[in-house]
């Protein structure tokens, strides 16, 4: 009788485990991203650079990750010839940033269980959040050309500053599953446009009465990243992997 009970418990456990296949996910993840970055400041010519970031992620659901992100990047632009900048301004910003953001993937809102197209679209996401950019600029501050005014003119601003930023995020996550049909890792392709409040990205804060300010300081990132899920196993309310 005891062996029969144990056999029943074993069979029930196997059936239950199989019944949950495709529904389970892990609560946490760590991600590494590489980004192709460019600034948008009031220095007209801008350069492209490679930056990196690390993400610590809480998976509220398989389709709603909430991330704390550390960025390490570089922005630069301008130049000391009129062709590069009519005022001779030039900057290099080796910045760091800390952000908190959440992404909302379509799979959280749509029923993709009976539709191949919706199943393919379920991993598209939009996201936003907030954070701080820690600017560390090297800046050319003196006027180089007499037609702009006195050569003694010094372009105002700060080499080191902290600015609030709001990221606008869009992308697609390719989920990779293990033998239990759990998403154990993912590859992410994304575009992030960061709106920065302040004039710290290029280190120049010239008065608007003298220099035209075309727009708010911004920088964009075209990213590719990988994340690895770990931690407690949690069940979702619908199949994550559609067989």
The whole domain housing 155 covers 2-235
Count Cβ atoms below 10 Å from residue 141 Cβ, excluding itself.
Answer: 16
What percentage of residues in the chain have a pLDDT greater than 70? 88
Residue 119 has pLDDT above 70, yes or no: yes
Please name the helix (run of DSSP H) or strand (run of DSSP E) that holds residue 32, with its range, or none.
Answer: strand 24-40
User: Within a domain: residue 58?
Assistant: yes
pLDDT digits (tens, 9 = 90+) for 35-58: 999 999 988 899 999 999 999 999
Lowest mean pLDDT among 73-82, 148-157, 224-233: 148-157
Alpha-carbon distance 146 to 206, whole Å? 18
State the average pLDDT over residues 193-213: 84
Asked if residue 175 belongs to a domain, the reply is: yes
Taking only the tens place, the pLDDT of each residue in 134-190 is 999 999 999 898 888 888 889 999 999 999 999 999 999 999 999 999 999 999 999
In CATH, what number is assigned to the domain containing residue 88?
2.40.160.20
Return the pLDDT at 195.
Answer: 97
- Structural tokens at position 233: 């196993």
| Residue 16, phi then psi, degrees to nearest 5 | -65, -40
Residues 6 or more apart from 1 whose CB is under 8 A from it?
none
Domain presence at residue 240: no
This prediction has a pTM of 0.87
pLDDT average, residue stretch 204-224: 82
Within-domain flag for 243: no
Per the structure, the count of domains in the chain is 1
Let me know: does 209 contact 191? Beta carbons within 8 Å. no
How much is the pLDDT for 19? 45
Residue 52 lies in a domain: yes
């Amino acid at each position: 009788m005891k062996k029969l009970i144990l056999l029943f418990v074993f069979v029930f456990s196997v059936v239950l485990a199989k019944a949950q296949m495709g529904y389970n996910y892990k609560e946490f993840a760590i991600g590494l991203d590489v980004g192709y970055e460019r600034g948008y400041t009031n220095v007209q010519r801008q350069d492209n650079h490679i930056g990196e970031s690390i993400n610590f992620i809480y998976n509220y659901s398989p389709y709603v990750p909430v991330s704390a992100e550390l960025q390490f990047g570089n922005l630069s632009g301008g130049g000391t010839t009129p062709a590069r900048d009519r005022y001779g301004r030039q900057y290099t910003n080796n910045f760091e940033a800390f952000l908190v953001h959440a992404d909302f993937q379509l799979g959280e809102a749509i029923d993709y269980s009976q539709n191949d197209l919706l199943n393919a679209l379920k991993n598209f996401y939009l996201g936003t959040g907030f954070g701080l950019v820690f600017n560390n600029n090297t800046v050319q501050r003196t006027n180089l050309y007499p037609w702009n005014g006195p050569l003694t003119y010094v372009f105002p601003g700060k080499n080191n500053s902290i600015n609030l930023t709001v990221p606008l995020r869009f992308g697609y996550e390719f989920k990779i599953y293990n033998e239990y049909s759990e998403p154990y890792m993912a590859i992410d392709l994304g575009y992030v446009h960061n709106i920065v409040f302040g004039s710290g990205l290029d280190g120049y804060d010239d008065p608007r009465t003298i220099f035209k300010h075309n727009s708010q300081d911004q920088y964009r990132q075209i990213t590719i990243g990988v994340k690895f899920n770990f931690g407690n196993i949690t069940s979702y309310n619908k199949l994550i992997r559609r067989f």
